[in-house]
Amino acid sequence: MQLFKYQMAKKANNLKRVRENLLISKAELARKAGISPLTIDRIEKGCECRVDTKRKIIQALGLKLSEKNKVFKD
């Protein structure tokens, strides 16, 4: 059985909680961040992502990069 890259590593994060507290849909966040809704879904389920993707999400949520720990625990 072949594992895809996004299935290999899982990391806990607060993306779904933060997004829902701001009343933002996955689609809206994805549009603001310039990434796909599928990527948002995978990250919310704990899949890893690139640092650049994290930066886009943090900024799309209206947070400062120094507040990244509110969303990502690493």
Domains of the chain: 8-63 (1.10.260.40)
CA atoms of 47 and 66, how far apart (whole Å): 22
pLDDT score recorded for residue 1: 46
Confidence of residue 4 (pLDDT cuts 50, 70, 90): low
Confidence of residue 71 (pLDDT cuts 50, 70, 90): very high
Q: What is the mean pLDDT of residues 3-20?
A: 76
pTM for the whole structure: 0.85
User: Which contacts of 53-59 are long-range, i.e. CB under 8 A and separated by 24 or more positions?
Assistant: 57/15, 57/29, 57/33, 59/33
Place of tokens 């689609």: 27
Query: Which position has the higher pLDDT, 53 or 1?
Result: 53
